[in-house]
Structure 1
Amino acid sequence: MDPGIDDAVALAIALTEPKFAVKLVTTVAGNVSVDKTTLNALKLVEFFDRLDVPVARGAAQPLKKDFVDASYIHGASGMPGYEFPPVKLKADPRDAITAIYQTLAAAVEPLTIVATGAYTNIAQLLLDHPDIKSKIKQLVLMGGSLSGGNVSSVAEFNVFTDPEAAKIVYESGLPIVMIGLDVTLKALVSWKTLDRLATLGEAGKMLHGLITYYKDEYDGGKPLHDVNTIFYLLHPEAIKTKEYPIYVCTEGPAQGATVADFQDRWSNGKKNAVVGLDIDAAAFNQWLLEKVKQMAVK
């Protein structure tokens, strides 16, 4: 992940959800630099007193292209809008690739990897340790779009940031769930929901502060893109999906595009991703409020 405001909300819910056993948080350059995303992840782990969850620093730049952040959306720090105390927790001494590999290797059963930033760490893991695929249950990816982009006419930010990494991931043969803009731009957090968050304890106050600063805004509310991955894991019935063969463009004006071969011109019937197409936005808003209401901060 690359916290980032919407990543922060996703991590807050993941860390406080009883149905999840979060084994590891890794960071990557994206919304802001990897130094800042790592610090922000540590802030949240400490805020929710989840000191049992290690945070490992990942890739500082994409595999090939130059790194360009989204601080114009998330602010210079990546998480403005709330005054966190100075962080005492240190990042895990392992790099993200080693940490992910060792966590997967030690797992009794295959684990789900949720990616809410560029996929650089995952791609490098697959390049360095192809033997670990059997320990990955599925990849739930925030990113991509079949209906147009948010950083170009066709590309979504996470895929555009490192399209080469996305291409490696989509060609890996691993089970993939793609939760992209086709879902996240329909699941706007309404202004009413945002106002309610401010009344839901210290966690609600913190998240309200972050989201209020968030510059990604549409008529009717704000899209918390990354949170939809967590919602999908808990309530897959609320998101309409369909299997497609997804191809990633890595160069030219379509760089970062995720193309579904609707007409089966290239894929010979092979599909590599379950793609989110629609969402129950009202259920998403209600669920978000319920999750934040249940958050306990010591």
Structure 2
Amino acid sequence: MKKFAKFALTALIAGMTMAAQASVVIDDFDVNQGVGQLSDSTADGSGVYNSVVGPVSSILGGERDMFITALTTDGFGAQVTTNVSGGLLKYSTETGSSGRSILKWDGVNGVAGVSTGSEANYLATLNPTGLGGLDLAASGSGFKIKVKESDLGFDFAITVYTDATHWTTLVLSSEAHHNFLPDNTPIDFADFFGVANEAGTILSSGALRFTGTGGSADLSSVGAILATINFTGSEAEIDLQIGDVRTVPEPTSIALFGAALLAMGAVRRRKTEVK
């Protein structure tokens, strides 16, 4: 596994651009998580999670659910951590550890305190129709991710649910950024549309697409959204700072995200062949 030097990132996760050019925010991270830092230092299949409520103008659906788990550790207390404060989502892995963090927006249904459990436990709290069939397609045509600083790339995923069997996950990889350059890279809604049971279809954008047993998500009827940092579990020693996430009316190419992810897949295939 490559070791990554620390880098700071700011990814905008904001809502859609309406006909009146207003934005509906998915999360601007102005509402602190309220429990301080969530951390995990044991790679035992468990993690920690909690929820915070806030105005729908700041958090889509009125609640943000956050999960963190260590995937590897050095056995001497190296941690993976995440928290939201000061308008930023902060994610960090100490030397000798790697982890994964999942944010969830699916309406008000979470836990105020900190709970311990596996990733499956956390995802079992998902309400795939909790946002009530939000029509994103009527007000935008893509999500927009803005990276402030990163000395190397990292992978992430966005999952959109229409219901329990209709969903799409796009797995992407970001290249290095410095002071918001390269500029914002949108994720086109069109990439979310596919057939049922896709298991890593490689798109022309470089993203990988996975879909539910019933089919792909319908962006005109959104029930829940997940954002996963380090989806593949392959990156270590990462420091991230995420600002907010939004949609845009006319996204451009997402090719900047593709090359690193495809290279990662090639390395994994080579390792498999060697074994």
TM > 0.5 fold call: no
Higher strand share: 2
Give the TM-score of the pair, scaled to structure 2. Answer: 0.26
Give the TM-score of the pair, scaled to structure 1. Answer: 0.25
Greater relative contact order structure (CA < 8 Å, 6+ sep): 2
